[in-house]
């Protein structure tokens, strides 16, 4: 159900302005932070005026509220090794998101419905990176178990006789988020909608445990197909709306089709996939888990905030300039074969994915345990 609700919200965002993306908002935070420190990083505007920044902030608030409603909020401090993996994974995600011009949301959850073949290649990279990271994590557990072991600390944990304040404060957080959205109506209806939908996304993600990392990781770990099925449902719902929006000319056909087919997508996707698995959350997964109080994912967000501005300024220009145009194309499949066949291709890919995860769940062929 969570994937379906997120798909509906994604369609609403596209009608308002553009589809759902997460890494752009985090990059905007980093750009503004470094500019405050005297840097010269290009950004899309002030934090409170950039739609995706507002979306990400309200998403954290929504997840915070969801955790409070269910008395699941706590400040959870991991062992030092896990904290380092969160930071390192975030740095890799920032690098991969900029080089691949995508993240798991913009380049996968929204990229597939946009009928971008670059999104398919990016997803192949994500799967490759996830597989490599799973292999590393299993190696670490078996050979160096002390790297991520140690004391953990939880503060404000609800329990018997404790935490009764959390649901009440959750109402306060939701009301505050709605007030923020309402205040934007006086200056920008787009920002108002992004704020409201961001709050909605956070609540849905937290309550449904929506996680792209688990969708791609679990076939190699437990074999469970449930996370993948949730992502598939969201993509299918989004695709229905996106195709209508593009075909009817409500929004531009090339929207959310990036110049990353095929080299940037495969390289960026692999780096991002490795990083998100090490960190334990992709961009949006880090955001909503940060709202729950997971300090490891706070470190992941910090890593992305640091890596994305520096990668965009110092690495991406040289990387893209070194590639011929044939390796960094905008590949909108309906432009080549028409809308009907293009949708059929994406549905066929999703059917193969569905058959694979269900078969693997039953046989455990690719699962670690």
**Looking at residue 295, what is its pLDDT?**
98
Inside any domain, residue 242: yes
**Looking at residue 319, what is its pLDDT?**
98
Residue 299 structural domain: 2-362
- For the stretch 275-288, what's the b/e string if a residue is b when 16 or more beta carbons lie within 10 angstroms of its beta carbon? bbbbbbbbbbbbbb
Total tally of structural domains belonging to the chain:
1
Q: pLDDT for 347-357, tens place per residue?
A: 999 999 999 99
The Cα–Cα gap between 131 and 53 comes to 31
Inside any domain, residue 286: yes
Tell me the average pLDDT across 14-29: 97
Decide if pLDDT at 181 tops 80. yes
Inside any domain, residue 292: yes
**Looking at residue 115, what is its pLDDT?**
98
Name residues whose C-beta falls within 8 Å of residue 343's C-beta, 6 or more positions apart in sequence. 115, 239, 243
Decide if pLDDT at 369 tops 70. no
Inside any domain, residue 303: yes
Decide if pLDDT at 178 tops 90. yes
119 in Cβ contact with 19 (< 8 Å):
no
Inside any domain, residue 369: no
The Cα–Cα gap between 193 and 197 comes to 6
**Looking at residue 94, what is its pLDDT?**
98
Tell me the average pLDDT across 173-193: 97
Within 10 A of 359 (CB to CB), how many other CB atoms are there? 15
pLDDT tier at 146 (50, 70, 90 boundaries)?
confident
Distances (CA, A) of 171 to 64, 168, 178, 196, 320: 11, 5, 11, 15, 47
Which structure tokens are listed for 292?
């729950």
**Looking at residue 61, what is its pLDDT?**
99
H or E stretch including 262?
A: strand 259-262
Main-chain phi, psi angles of 76, to 5 degrees: -110, 110
**Looking at residue 150, what is its pLDDT?**
85
Q: pLDDT for 55-99, tens place per residue?
A: 999 999 999 999 999 999 999 999 999 999 999 999 999 999 999
pLDDT tier at 151 (50, 70, 90 boundaries)?
confident
Which DSSP symbol is given to 250?
A: S
Name residues whose C-beta falls within 8 Å of residue 322's C-beta, 6 or more positions apart in sequence. none
From the number of C-beta atoms within 10 Å of its C-beta (0-12, 13-18, 19+), residue 225 rates as buried
Decide if pLDDT at 108 tops 90. yes
The Cα–Cα gap between 355 and 369 comes to 20
The Cα–Cα gap between 307 and 31 comes to 10
The Cα–Cα gap between 117 and 125 comes to 13
Q: Is 283 left (phi over 0), alpha (psi -120 to 50) or beta?
A: alpha
Q: pLDDT for 185-243, tens place per residue?
A: 999 999 999 999 999 999 999 999 999 999 999 999 999 999 999 999 999 999 999 99
Q: pLDDT for 309-360, tens place per residue?
A: 999 999 999 999 999 999 999 999 999 999 999 999 999 999 999 999 999 9
Inside any domain, residue 182: yes
Which structure tokens are listed for 280?
């334990």
- For the stretch 135-172, what's the b/e string if a residue is b when 16 or more beta carbons lie within 10 angstroms of its beta carbon? eebeebeeeeeeebeeeeeeeeebeeeebeebeeebee
The Cα–Cα gap between 290 and 294 comes to 5
Q: pLDDT for 260-301, tens place per residue?
A: 999 999 999 999 999 999 999 999 999 999 999 999 999 999
The Cα–Cα gap between 137 and 368 comes to 11
Inside any domain, residue 368: no
Query: Which of 105, 88, 102, 215 has the alpha carbon at shortest distance from 148?
Result: 88
Tell me the average pLDDT across 108-123: 98
Name residues whose C-beta falls within 8 Å of residue 25's C-beta, 6 or more positions apart in sequence. 50, 52, 53, 54, 55, 56, 57
In angstroms, the first-to-last Cα distance of the chain is: 27
The Cα–Cα gap between 25 and 52 comes to 5
Q: How far is CA 41 from the centre of its chain?
A: 23
The Cα–Cα gap between 281 and 130 comes to 11
Inside any domain, residue 367: no
- DSSP three-state, residue 186: coil
Give me the DSSP letters along 255-295: TT--EEEEHHHHHHHHHHHHHHHHHTS-HHHHHHHHHHTBH
Which DSSP symbol is given to 79?
A: P
Which value, in Å, is the radius of gyration of the alpha carbons in the chain? 20
Decide if pLDDT at 43 tops 80. no
- Whole-prediction pTM: 0.96
Query: Which of 5, 44, 2 has the alpha carbon at shortest distance from 23?
Result: 44
**Looking at residue 367, what is its pLDDT?**
85
């Amino acid at each position: 159900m969570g994937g379906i609700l997120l798909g509906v919200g994604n369609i609403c965002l596209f009608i308002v302005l553009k589809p759902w993306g997460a890494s752009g908002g985090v990059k905007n935070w980093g750009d503004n932070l470094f500019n405050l420190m005297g840097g010269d990083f290009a950004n899309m505007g002030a934090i409170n005026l950039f739609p995706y920044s507002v979306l990400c902030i309200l998403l954290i608030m929504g997840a915070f509220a969801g955790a409070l409603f269910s008395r699941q909020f706590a400040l959870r401090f991991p062992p030092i090794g896990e904290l380092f993996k969160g930071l390192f994974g975030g740095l890799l995600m920032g690098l991969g998101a900029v080089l691949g011009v995508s993240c798991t949301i913009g380049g996968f959850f929204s990229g597939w419905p946009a009928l971008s073949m670059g999104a398919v290649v990016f997803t192949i990279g994500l799967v490759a990176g996830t597989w490599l990271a799973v292999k590393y994590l299993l190696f670490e557990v078996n050979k160096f178990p002390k790297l991520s072991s140690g004391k953990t600390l939880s503060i404000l944990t609800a329990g018997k006789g404790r935490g009764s304040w959390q649901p009440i404060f959750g109402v306060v957080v939701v009301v505050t988020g709605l007030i923020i959205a309402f205040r934007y109506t006086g200056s920008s209806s787009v920002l108002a909608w992004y704020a409201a939908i961001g709050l909605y996304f956070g609540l849905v993600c937290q309550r449904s445990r929506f996680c792209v990392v688990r969708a791609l990781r679990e076939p190699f770990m437990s074999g469970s197909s449930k996370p993948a099925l949730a992502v598939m449902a969201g993509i299918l719902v989004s695709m229905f709306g996106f195709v209508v929006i593009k075909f009817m000319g409500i929004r531009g056909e090339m929207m959310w089709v990036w110049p990353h087919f095929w080299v940037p997508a495969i390289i960026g996707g692999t780096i991002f996939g490795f990083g998100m698995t090490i960190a334990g959350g992709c961009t949006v997964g880090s955001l909503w888990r940060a709202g729950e109080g997971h300090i490891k994912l706070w470190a992941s967000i910090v890593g992305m905030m640091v890596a994305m501005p520096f990668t965009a300024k110092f690495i991406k220009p040289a990387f893209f300039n070194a590639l011929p145009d044939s390796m960094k194309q905008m590949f909108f499949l309906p432009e080549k074969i028409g809308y009907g066949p293009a949708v059929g291709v994406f549905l066929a890919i999703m059917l193969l994915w569905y058959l694979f995860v269900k078969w693997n769940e039953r046989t455990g062929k690719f699962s670690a345990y």
